[in-house]
Structure 1
Amino acid sequence: MSLPSPLQFLDARRSVPSKQLGEPGPDDATLLRMLASAVRVPDHGKLVPFRFIRIEGDARHALGERLAARTLHLDPDAAPAVVEKDRARFSHAPTIITVVARLTAGHKVPEQEQLLTAGSVCFALLQAAQALGFGAQWLTGWMAYDEAVAATLGLAPNERVAGFIHVGTPQMEAPERDRPDPAALLTDWAP
């Protein structure tokens, strides 16, 4: 059996919706292997402007309960379906890795570049999960930008959620979607 070329592997990358991710998730050794690949991103200044928070097992449901409570705090008239959606957000995939951007203000490396490094980690983690036979989806949602959720997750004032990477075993084939034509996006600059 011949392995696909690296470009074929990249071309086959697709997100698996978190609702289609089930057990098993990666064990500790497999997760650490995935993270070892994910941290090999451009990092101007060698700041390592990211860290990880793993959410698994009952912690997923506890976080969902806190999200539901936060939803009702923000909107006491929220529809029950909205509250239930927030309660279930982290209950599908067996493993969620929160990629946290750790931003150093006033550094010669602009915060934008630090944030891009953390975003690159999110994408590399998606690729690593797929390479090891798992499905994954990078999600944010309102909770990635909410100060109370950040406090719940234990984020410092200089930290932001770059993404919640949901990882598990695909329960069905991941859907393909239309992709942009790179030739239509390319322009040449000339003086």
Structure 2
Amino acid sequence: MDTITALTTRVSSPRLDQPGPSDEQLDLLLRAAIRAPDHGLLRPWRFIVLEGEQRERLGDIMEAQLLEDQPEADSRSRANARNKALRAPTILVAVAEVTENHKIPVWEQVLAVGAAVQNMMVAAYELNLGAMWRTGALANSDLAKRMLGFAPKDQVVAYLYLGTPVGNLKNLPDDSPADFIRTLP
């Protein structure tokens, strides 16, 4: 698949199964990630690759974050939170470990990590892997950041779920780029 085809046909895969990416494929995804634009060469991206039982530790974090937000959460809600970490064979956590008070603003550092995640999603698609970018309350939780080994100043950009796509992929609208262009007022 050529780059333009991957960029113009890529879709997210909400349902993922085994196998997840091989070690070689993970290496390629991470190589694609660290080639993202990075104003100031701060290299703010940090990645945690979770597979196998490590996903259960993420499930612990998901449950802890739920209980921080909803201390009265019942056992079913707690189990649902934990099971989110088992929806894919591999979860790659992408975090912007930001440098504060730098000439490159924090928002640009976070965008660099977003670009890194997009590079991984396109690379995964080209490798016939399914990918789903997830965030939610867990991405902004200081508790989750701390449990992942980061400071409150840092920003979780993505929980990138990776695996083999299951079922039919989404059909996205065939929009025209002209629909999104505005003229200068």
Task: With the length of structure 1 as denominator, give the TM-score of the two structures.
Answer: 0.88
The corresponding residue for 1:13 is 10
2:104 is the alignment partner of 1:106: no
Select the residue among 17, 25, 31 that pairs with 1:30. 25
The corresponding residue for 1:124 is 119
Once the two structures are superposed, what CA deviation does each residue of 1:158-188 show, in whole Å capped at 9, x if it has no partner?
3210111000011223112336542122123
> Which secondary structure state, in structure 2, belongs to the residue aligned with residue 113 of structure 1?
helix
Q: 1:69 to 1:109 in 2, by over 3 A?
A: closer
Contact 2:131–2:163 under 8 Å retained in 1: yes
Deviates more, 1:168-177 or 1:109-118: 168-177
The corresponding residue for 1:60 is 55
The corresponding residue for 1:135 is 130
| Count of aligned positions | 185
Q: 1:34 to 1:66 in 2, by over 3 A?
A: closer
The corresponding residue for 1:43 is 38
RMSD across aligned positions (CA): 1.8
> Which secondary structure state, in structure 1, belongs to the residue aligned with residue 60 of structure 2?
helix
Deviates more, 1:76-85 or 1:113-122: 76-85
The corresponding residue for 2:159 is 164
CA distance in 2, matches of 1:31, 1:5: 19
Once the two structures are superposed, what CA deviation does each residue of 1:117-140 show, in whole Å capped at 9, x if it has no partner?
011111111111111110000000
CA distance in 2, matches of 1:69, 1:106: 31
Q: What is the CA-CA distance between 1:82 and the residue it aligns to?
A: 2.7
Contact 2:129–2:163 under 8 Å retained in 1: yes
The one-letter amino acid of 2:129's match is F
The one-letter amino acid of 1:164's match is Y
CA distance in 2, matches of 1:129, 1:6: 12
Deviates more, 1:50-59 or 1:171-180: 171-180
Contact 2:93–2:159 under 8 Å retained in 1: yes
The one-letter amino acid of 2:7's match is L
Q: What is the CA-CA distance between 1:73 and the residue it aligns to?
A: 4.1
Gap runs ≥5 in structure 1: none
Q: What is the CA-CA distance between 1:102 and the residue it aligns to?
A: 1.4
Q: What is the CA-CA distance between 1:112 and the residue it aligns to?
A: 1.2
The one-letter amino acid of 1:53's match is I
CA distance in 2, matches of 1:32, 1:90: 22
Q: What is the CA-CA distance between 1:91 and the residue it aligns to?
A: 0.2
Q: 1:65 to 1:179 in 2, by over 3 A?
A: farther
Task: With the length of structure 2 as denominator, give the TM-score of the two structures.
Answer: 0.91
The one-letter amino acid of 1:72's match is L
Contact 2:90–2:161 under 8 Å retained in 1: yes
> Which secondary structure state, in structure 2, belongs to the residue aligned with residue 173 of structure 1?
coil
The one-letter amino acid of 2:96's match is A
